[in-house]
Chain A
């Protein structure tokens, strides 16, 4: 009997040893790379995909349509966020600043062979307006007309940034004729002008094939397979094992594996994004002193440089330093200063009377709820770091994990104390909309994204001037002014600015990350040999 038990112990140990061996084998898999696929006309790209369909007007799904090399717009942004011609060759504006004329490129065909005409572009833009009310938050038009290859847009108000608006993936040019003939874009994918077209699409994996009618040179790959690998570690491992040739957004924990590596190229660029925690002013953080203390207690230098290993830049202003909107001249009144934060909390009447390490007032603990989602690896880390720092100054931060799909509604309804998001600040090349959305006074839901209750008439006045200002330098000054007001009010906690990356096998060339984050798969990605 006793003998039997000893045997059992051995059995348990054997199982343990087997487990360790298995782990070793799995870890060892990441050593052989294959560039065979690349040279046989197949490109494999590991991405994160949030789109349920490829209908460009649904939600933000247009982003995916553009990233996958399917859709193109009239204009695009270059690596410095300057607006460049794309499907439009050139454009001009009338003297009264109300009429824009876009010259549509000659000789462009949709992937089904239909030619691209100004008439078709008009129908496509009108379709975007009809299907998604986000379109109207960019601009409102009085009329769109087509004259030959010219597209003429008349607006009610002068809109300085029209070419930038039309670069947004919402305005991807689709062939409305194909839709009229019965193609269901949301099921079969849209007909666009990009280098690749849809072969099959499910959320987990898309397959694209060469567009035989592409207008801008040769398309290097017969097939592009795009698996969605949501977990950043798995993405890194797929890249190491050669399962994919390109992967986007490798997380801080793995980035060192690909730096100075003879098998991979790393292209990183400071993005237009900001990781921001919106602060609700209807709760405990409505008190300006508590808010200031909260922000001053967060050691953002350390979060970004140490915890995230420099894959993020430390935050302070709404707009990242990659855009020229006065990042260096802005003064952050709430830079890291935990001692002052404690003083501010004392002044605001929050003291730890019961000795549990958390400050309280009138029997109520200083406890705030921080809403986070896990879709991006850095967000929970930021939240936990903030939580740890807040504990040092006596604020109890409760982290609540929610599903990404709930985030938008939580923001609109204002059901949070802090709400983290990773937002692009200038998806039209200009940060006006971003600032407007989150911080302009929300009167009876006319600015739904500002669910925080924040309101400052001074800032609203700046926004009003910005809306009609055409002069580039004046706009810049106004945007700097707006940022300074937001920072002075402690309206939000700006945690950091991501440096986005795309990593590719050395068997490829032409893989680039753009600050706008719209262009992943392009016709420039080709085998290196």
Chain B
């Protein structure tokens, strides 16, 4: 452990940051000084004070508490999204890469179709049709981002499937599912994990973007994109309302991007 930390100082540092973000998200109910939904409407747009550390928003809700709770909303959504996207993409990629032929044709043409659309625009369309909600946003973004993973995994699997150990397993009469699960899966996983980790920041931005446009989280959910949009109406009279969620997004996205980069450096065999 000590040796690992010494060898990967930056990665360890970023991991610390990531863990602290996760800690804030999980411990939100204990960290937040107030209920993020309850506000005193007679005290709106209060400046920062010892009672309200970052002041209050347009309905008199404590801004700091909302930011803290926003961490868990954003993180929860992003993690769901990354897992679903990577899972679906990997499954499709493994299937089309391993079986080839018609399966590959159909699945990959479908993936091409999804890739040919500008992602966020398509996500807006899907979320718009299904109606704004957290779940619909996640589904919409999964629908537009799985194709990238499918392609990546497929190319890896094509390379793997003619390897001797796979052929050997097949000759031994191993069940197809077992081959996929025991032999293929572990070999593509690192690549999927790296891509997924690097995507966390982007996904978080996309979720916040959709919420900002009104397709994602709905009021009164404390979600950064939504808070940004709420603050927009007061950009000239209470600019801090936009600054806080903006800074929160900036910090957390930066942390995850740096962490993703560092993780790649650690896991990527070419660099060791």
Most chain-A Cβ atoms within 10 A of its Cβ — which of B39, B44, B218, B219? B219
B200-225: CB near A (< 8 Å → 1, else 0) gives 00000000000000100011100000
Most chain-B Cβ atoms within 10 A of its Cβ — which of A307, A383, A399? A307
The residue on B at minimum CB distance from A403 is: B128
> Among the listed stretches B64-72, B76-84, B172-180, B254-262, which one makes contact with chain A, having 4 or more residues with CB under 8 Å of it?
B254-262
Is B10 close to A, CB under 8 A?
Answer: yes
Most chain-B Cβ atoms within 10 A of its Cβ — which of A16, A381, A384, A388? A388
Is B99 close to A, CB under 8 A?
Answer: no
Note all chain A residues with C-beta closer than 8 A to B232. Answer: 233
Please determine whether B236 and A257 come into contact, CB atoms closer than 8 angstroms.
Answer: yes
Please determine whether A254 and B236 come into contact, CB atoms closer than 8 angstroms.
Answer: yes
Please determine whether A5 and B10 come into contact, CB atoms closer than 8 angstroms.
Answer: yes
248-272 of chain B: CB within 8 A of chain A: 250, 254, 257-258, 261-262, 265, 271
Note all chain A residues with C-beta closer than 8 A to B58. Answer: 307, 381
211-247 of chain B: CB within 8 A of chain A: 214, 218-220, 232-238
Note all chain B residues with C-beta closer than 8 A to A306. Answer: 41-42, 44
The residue on B at minimum CB distance from A383 is: B219
Is B38 close to A, CB under 8 A?
Answer: yes
Note all chain B residues with C-beta closer than 8 A to A236. Answer: 236
Is B130 close to A, CB under 8 A?
Answer: no
Please determine whether A12 and B254 come into contact, CB atoms closer than 8 angstroms.
Answer: yes
232-273 of chain A: CB within 8 A of chain B: 232-233, 236-237, 251, 253-254, 256-257
Is A9 close to B, CB under 8 A?
Answer: yes
Please determine whether A232 and B233 come into contact, CB atoms closer than 8 angstroms.
Answer: yes
Note all chain B residues with C-beta closer than 8 A to A2. Answer: 9-10
Nearest CB on B from A382, distance (A): 11
Is B89 close to A, CB under 8 A?
Answer: no
Note all chain B residues with C-beta closer than 8 A to A380. Answer: 219
382-397 of chain A: CB within 8 A of chain B: 383-385, 387-389, 391-392
Complex: how many Å from CA A307 to CA B230?
13
The residue on B at minimum CB distance from A387 is: B220
Is A463 close to B, CB under 8 A?
Answer: no
Is A374 close to B, CB under 8 A?
Answer: yes
Is B59 close to A, CB under 8 A?
Answer: yes
Is B132 close to A, CB under 8 A?
Answer: yes
489-521 of chain A: CB within 8 A of chain B: none
- With A8-B261, A306-B41, A380-B219 known to touch, is A388 a contact of B236 (CB < 8 Å)? no
Nearest CB on A from B217, distance (A): 12
- With A8-B261, A384-B59, A384-B219 known to touch, is A233 a contact of B233 (CB < 8 Å)? yes
The residue on A at minimum CB distance from B128 is: A403
Main secondary structure of the interface of A (DSSP, over half): helix
Is A196 close to B, CB under 8 A?
Answer: no
Please determine whether B219 and A377 come into contact, CB atoms closer than 8 angstroms.
Answer: no
How big is chain A's contact interface, by range? Answer: 35 or more
A-B contact count (CB 8 A): 74
Please determine whether A399 and B218 come into contact, CB atoms closer than 8 angstroms.
Answer: yes
Please determine whether A385 and B41 come into contact, CB atoms closer than 8 angstroms.
Answer: yes
Interface size on B, residues (CB 8 A): 32
Nearest CB on A from B259, distance (A): 12
Is A303 close to B, CB under 8 A?
Answer: yes
The residue on B at minimum CB distance from A30 is: B236
Nearest CB on B from A62, distance (A): 30
Please determine whether B41 and A401 come into contact, CB atoms closer than 8 angstroms.
Answer: no
Nearest CB on B from A407, distance (A): 16
Nearest CB on B from A253, distance (A): 4
1-20 of chain A: CB within 8 A of chain B: 1-2, 5, 8-9, 12, 16
279-324 of chain A: CB within 8 A of chain B: 299, 302-303, 306-307
Complex: how many Å from CA A302 to CA B219?
19
Note all chain A residues with C-beta closer than 8 A to B233. Answer: 232-233, 251, 253, 377
Please determine whether A401 and B132 come into contact, CB atoms closer than 8 angstroms.
Answer: yes
Nearest CB on B from A30, distance (A): 8
Please determine whether B219 and A399 come into contact, CB atoms closer than 8 angstroms.
Answer: yes
Note all chain A residues with C-beta closer than 8 A to B41. Answer: 299, 302-303, 306-307, 385, 388-389
Complex: how many Å from CA A256 to CA B236?
10
Complex: how many Å from CA A61 to CA B10?
63
Note all chain A residues with C-beta closer than 8 A to B59. Answer: 307, 384-385, 388
Complex: how many Å from CA A8 to CA B257?
11
B168-199: CB near A (< 8 Å → 1, else 0) gives 00000000000000000000000000000000
Nearest CB on B from A364, distance (A): 21
Note all chain A residues with C-beta closer than 8 A to B254. Answer: 12
The one of A1, A253, A392 that contacts B237, using a Cβ cutoff of 8 Å: A253
Please determine whether A374 and B236 come into contact, CB atoms closer than 8 angstroms.
Answer: no
Please determine whether B236 and A233 come into contact, CB atoms closer than 8 angstroms.
Answer: yes
Complex: how many Å from CA A236 to CA B235?
11
Note all chain A residues with C-beta closer than 8 A to B10. Answer: 2, 5
The residue on A at minimum CB distance from B219 is: A384
Nearest CB on A from B264, distance (A): 11
A80-108: CB near B (< 8 Å → 1, else 0) gives 00000000000000000000000000000
Note all chain B residues with C-beta closer than 8 A to A387. Answer: 219-220
44-101 of chain B: CB within 8 A of chain A: 44, 58-59, 61
Complex: how many Å from CA A256 to CA B39?
23
Task: List 11 additional contacts besides A254-B237, A388-B41; criterion CB under 8 Å.
Answer: A9-B258, A233-B233, A233-B236, A253-B235, A254-B236, A302-B42, A381-B58, A384-B220, A388-B59, A388-B61, A392-B38
For the complex of A and B, list the 9 residue pairs with the smallest distance between their C-beta atoms, beginning with the closest: A253-B234, A302-B41, A253-B233, A384-B219, A5-B10, A253-B237, A388-B59, A306-B42, A302-B42
12 contacts between A and B (CB under 8 A): A12-B258, A233-B233, A253-B236, A253-B237, A253-B238, A299-B41, A306-B42, A383-B219, A388-B37, A388-B59, A391-B38, A400-B131
Residues of B within 8 A of A (CB): 9-10, 37-39, 41-42, 44, 58-59, 61, 131-132, 214, 218-220, 232-238, 250, 254, 257-258, 261-262, 265, 271
